[in-house]
Amino acid sequence: MPGIYVHIPFCKHKCTYCDFTSFPNRLNFAEAYMACLMKEAEMRAKELEKITFDTVYIGGGTPSVVDPKYIYALMAKIVKSFHLSKDPEVTIEMNPGTVDAEKIQIYKRAGINRFSVGLQTANDRQLEEIGRIHNSKDFVACAELLRGENFSADIMLGLKGQTKEDVAATIALADENGATHVSMYALTPEDGTPIYTDYLNGELPDGDEVAALYDYGYELLKKRGYMRYEVSNFCKPGFGSRHNLNYWKRGEYIGLGVSASSFFFGKRFTNTFDLDEYMKCILSGHYPVIESEEVSEKDAKFEFVMLGLRTVFGISAAAYKKQFKSDWKEDFKGAYEKTKTYLEEAGDITKIKDEYLYVQNQILTEYME
């Protein structure tokens, strides 16, 4: 079932690795921006009144940095404007340095039932180095406020000087404080971010070292009862993210806010990345879309295969046939033959063998032609 993504582009401070659309010095625009988001929600809802949405994901930036009354009002607007399923999954991203008990209470009253918390590492020296505004104790305090809730911890691999012991301590901190889900991302050194200089200077762990940290982290997560369902995502039984699963199944979603992207009615489209431009457009009653593309059948087939191979659920030949009236192994014959040794088949399903999931990017390049 389709999902709704909402982007809140404010942060207290920019982390050294982050390339997301987030503005550390513009929190004074929060009130005006949130009003625009609500207007955009109303505009989109009118076109999508026949659609039932099953998930809402409030991401950023740092949604927890804005006054919670705006999040409450936004959720009220979404509930009123869109048709949501009976039991929607509603997630909010939070930075542990921006959370208190009152905020969580307001989020829960607003219908938020899943929380995604940026931990990154349990090593306080590394947290400071990457410009985080919190330490590991703040994460513990945040987890305490979320006791009994469905919450995920984001952790990162490939930080300067990061050891296996750091990874073990980080996973232990997340698990022992109740995380039902862990997203374990390998650091991508993005050109233009401060950490890119460290990367150019050879100060970050190299690809093989990060792969070793990943394998180690994966084994620890498994032992602690987390199952891997996508290359970077792990959950305790029953706690997979429905919102992300919808992306990986090529499900439709509508994105609201600056830089948000959407996939609806066979089109992918993206809002402007410019905050002022976004607000100007919405206030004048126009969509702030800067790019829109009809997905060709060839691209749709590639997306289907690529997204399927990213997850442990793999590709269903029958689902592919139903959608495209052809056989995926015939459509991608050359790539399939070349990558066969990395794949395993069970009935209708083809997936990447467990031990190769981390190197899926190399495997998928064969499918790009």
Ligand X SMILES: C[S@@+](CC[C@H](N)C(=O)[O-])C[C@H]1O[C@@H](n2cnc3c(N)ncnc32)[C@H](O)[C@@H]1O
Residues that bind ligand X (CB under 6 A): 17-20, 59-60, 62, 93, 95, 118, 120, 154, 156, 185, 187-188, 190
**Among ligand X, ligand SF4, none, what binds residue 239 when CB lies within 5 to 8 Å by partner kind?**
none
Question: Least distance (Å) from ligand SF4 to the CB of residue 17?
Answer: 7
- Rounded to the nearest 10 degrees, how much is the dihedral formed by the CA atoms of 167, 100, 93, 253? 150
Token pair of 271, please? 């809002």
20 binds ligand SF4 (CB under 6 A): yes
Cβ proximity to ligand SF4: between 190 and 215 the closer is 190
Which of 60, 217, 255, 308 touches ligand SF4 by CB under 6 A?
Answer: 60
Which residues, 6 or more positions from 139, have their beta carbon under 8 angstroms from its beta carbon? 96, 117, 119, 122, 153, 173, 177
68 binds ligand SF4 (CB under 6 A): no
**Among ligand SF4, ligand X, none, what binds residue 14 when CB lies within 5 to 8 Å by partner kind?**
ligand SF4
Which residues, 6 or more positions from 272, have their beta carbon under 8 angstroms from its beta carbon? 258, 259, 278, 281, 288, 289, 290
11 binds ligand SF4 (CB under 6 A): yes
The C-alpha atoms of residue 337 and residue 366 are separated, in whole angstroms, by: 10
Cβ proximity to ligand SF4: between 3 and 60 the closer is 60
Which residue stretch of 34-42, 59-67, 157-165, 246-254 sits at the interface with ligand SF4 (rule: CB under 6 A)?
59-67
**Among ligand X, ligand SF4, none, what binds residue 23 when CB lies within 5 to 8 Å by partner kind?**
none
Q: Per this entry, what is the length of the chain?
A: 369
Question: Least distance (Å) from ligand X to the CB of residue 346?
Answer: 32
Sheet containing 349-352: order of strands: 315-316, 349-352, 343-346
- Note the helical H segments in the chain: 30-47, 68-81, 101-109, 124-129, 136-145, 164-176, 195-200, 207-223, 242-248, 275-283, 297-310, 317-324, 328-331, 333-339, 360-365
**Among ligand SF4, ligand X, none, what binds residue 185 when CB lies within 5 to 8 Å by partner kind?**
ligand X
Closest CA to 354 of 270, 231, 196, 176: 231
26 binds ligand SF4 (CB under 6 A): no
Which of 118, 255, 288, 308 touches ligand SF4 by CB under 6 A?
Answer: 118
Question: Least distance (Å) from ligand SF4 to the CB of residue 22?
Answer: 4
> Residues 152, 229: contact at Cβ < 8 Å?
no
The interface with ligand SF4 within residues 87-106 (CB under 6 A) comprises 95
Local structure of 204: helix, strand or coil: coil
**Phi, psi (deg, nearest 5) at residue 97:** -80, 5
* Size of site (CB under 6 A) for ligand SF4: 11
Question: Least distance (Å) from ligand SF4 to the CB of residue 42?
Answer: 26
Cβ proximity to ligand X: between 114 and 351 the closer is 114
Binding site for ligand SF4 (CB under 6 A): 11, 14-15, 18, 20, 22, 60-62, 95, 118
